């Protein structure tokens, strides 16, 4: 029986398609997820419904087919919505009143990889205990399911899925973007159609690049992992800004008219101040991760905004947003969550909100980004033999104390264990790059000796 050492990671199940992430595993995952996520409706007369979407990478076709077959074999009607961004699938899961949703995508990973992300009813990501239950059921390897009228249908493809999502984006950010010229890098991914369409519908002049997916070119030297592409294009076209998405369009990075990068932290700063001005930032609070730049914390303090920090990963940002009923959160990588309009990061929605702030203030993106000063940051990955003992080492604790004293309020130190490998991450921020590099190197040398 196929097993992965660790089935669910921080964002679903991911692996090399047709090697670790096989059709057989996808079939069984579909069966197990259907059993777990539709239990509450099994007693009702309505047959459970699942929404299935994918990004355009070639392996998505076979994996989506296998997942659909697995869910149908457990009595679930499957609504295939085709190639759409991850946040669109989350939205449609709720909008169609489905019991579950599935997105087949490896996000910003290269084309040979793929992944499977599940959503519960309402389009919400799964809690750890639900993922554990799916894995438990999968390992039971139950062969039989309903027969006859009990077998689910696979409906291909929903004719109004894309239009529903575009209408949702329009209603979420009803901005007039006339006069704004934007270049959008679609990463040859899931937003190659909908992102340009959404920006054009709001009135922006749109120049789309890397928007011709052929099943093999997703994320290939383009998108948010290759920000240099949008930097060049914005300057060449004389645009007001550029927006760069990843393969499944749940993240957005930007560049200003001069090609300067505006990362997720800066985008959060701009949107937090905008929402505070508009009375939309509940409890005057932003949710970010521990990896967000200290410059964000300082900028928010100046703006009278509190920052709640979580562990790295958008799922932890979502948990804190829901627990505190906050209205904005995200990550430095460009995953920005506006929970009033979506249950997960939405790159296209982020792009619309960013341009709406430009339109409403008449300010350039570069001017808006000046609300935050990005402090130099140095990150060193240190291989270790046992990452569980690093933070109990007296030498490490002493080195951290010395570094923090030296930095004072002008910088910070963060040490954390990798979640997937025997590596300890040493990150230092300082007022200047030389100081950040020097102190990070000193700390890394101490960690390496543990």
Residue 327 marked ligand-binding: no
pLDDT of 315 reads 84
Under 8 Å CB-to-CB from 398, ≥6 apart: which residues?
A: none
CB 375 within 8 A of CB 251: no
pTM for the structure as a whole: 0.91
pLDDT of 194 reads 98
pLDDT of 4 reads 42
Q: How confident is the model at residue 327 (pLDDT cuts 50, 70, 90)?
A: very high
Q: Could you give the C-alpha distances from 74 to 51, 87, 90, 156, 415, in angstroms and in order?
A: 15, 26, 22, 18, 45
Q: How high is the mean pLDDT of the chain?
A: 94
pLDDT of 387 reads 87
pLDDT of 6 reads 60
Residue 128 marked ligand-binding: no
Give the lowest-confidence range in 66-70, 187-191, 407-411.
Answer: 407-411
Give the lowest-confidence range in 5-9, 248-252, 385-389.
Answer: 5-9
| Cα–Cα distance, 398 to 391 (Å, whole number) | 10
In this model, does residue 445 exceed pLDDT 80?
yes
Q: Which domains does the chain have, with CATH numbers?
A: 13-159 (3.40.120.10), 164-369 (3.40.120.10), 377-448 (3.30.310.50)
In the three-class reduction of DSSP (H, G, I as helix; E, B as strand; rest coil), residue 297 is classed as helix
In this model, does residue 3 exceed pLDDT 60?
no
| Cα–Cα distance, 305 to 116 (Å, whole number) | 36
| Cα–Cα distance, 254 to 224 (Å, whole number) | 9
The residues carrying an active-site annotation are: 107
Residue 434 marked ligand-binding: no
Residue 248 marked ligand-binding: yes
In the three-class reduction of DSSP (H, G, I as helix; E, B as strand; rest coil), residue 429 is classed as strand
Q: Could you give the C-alpha distances from 19 to 32, 70, 157, in angstroms and in order?
A: 20, 19, 28
In this model, does residue 288 exceed pLDDT 90?
yes
């Amino acid at each position: 029986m196929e097993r992965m050492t660790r089935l669910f990671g921080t964002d679903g199940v991911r692996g090399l398609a047709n090697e670790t992430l096989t059709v057989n595993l996808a079939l069984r995952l579909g069966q197990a997820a259907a059993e777990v996520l539709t239990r509450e409706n099994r007693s009702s007369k309505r047959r459970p419904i699942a929404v299935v979407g994918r990004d355009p990478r070639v392996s998505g076709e076979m994996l989506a087919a296998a997942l659909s077959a697995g869910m149908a074999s457990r009595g679930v009607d499957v609504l295939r919505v085709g190639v759409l961004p991850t946040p669109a699938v989350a939205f449609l899961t709720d909008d169609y009143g489905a019991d579950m949703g599935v997105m087949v995508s490896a996000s910003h990973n290269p084309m040979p990889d793929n992944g499977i992300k599940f959503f519960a009813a309402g389009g919400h990501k799964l809690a750890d205990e639900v993922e554990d239950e799916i894995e438990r059921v999968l390992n039971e390897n139950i062969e039989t399911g309903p027969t006859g009228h009990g077998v689910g249908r696979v409906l291909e493809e929903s004719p109004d899925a894309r239009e529903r999502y575009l209408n949702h984006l329009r209603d979420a950010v009803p901005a007039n973007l006339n006069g704004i010229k934007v270049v959008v890098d679609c990463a040859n991914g899931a937003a190659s159609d909908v992102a340009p369409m959404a920006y054009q519908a709001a009135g922006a002049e749109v120049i789309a690049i890397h928007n011709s997916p052929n099943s093999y070119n997703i994320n290939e030297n383009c998108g948010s992992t290759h920000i240099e592409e949008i930097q060049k294009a914005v300057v060449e076209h004389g645009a007001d800004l550029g927006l760069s998405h990843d393969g499944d369009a749940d993240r957005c990075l930007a560049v200003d008219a001069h090609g300067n990068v505006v990362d997720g932290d800066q985008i959060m700063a701009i949107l937090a101040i905008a929402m505070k001005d508009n009375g939309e930032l509940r409890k005057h609070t932003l949710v970010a991760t521990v990896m967000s730049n200290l410059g964000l914390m300082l900028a928010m303090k100046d703006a009278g905004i509190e920052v709640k920090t979580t562990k790295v990963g958008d799922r932890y940002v979502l948990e804190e947003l829901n627990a505190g009923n906050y209205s904005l959160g995200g990550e430095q990588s460009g995953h920005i969550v506006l929970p009033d309009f979506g249950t997960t990061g939405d790159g296209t929605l982020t792009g619309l909100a960013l341009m709406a702030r430009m339109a409403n203030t008449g300010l350039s993106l570069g001017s808006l980004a000046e609300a935050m000063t990005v402090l130099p940051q140095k990150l060193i990955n240190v291989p270790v033999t046992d990452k569980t003992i690093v933070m109990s080492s007296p030498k490490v604790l002493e080195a951290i104390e010395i570094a923090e004293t030296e930095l004072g309020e002008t910088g910070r130190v963060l040490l954390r264990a990798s979640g997937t490998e025997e590596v300890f991450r040493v990150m230092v921020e300082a007022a200047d790059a030389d100081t950040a590099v020097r102190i990070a190197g000193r700390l890394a040398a101490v960690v390496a000796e543990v």
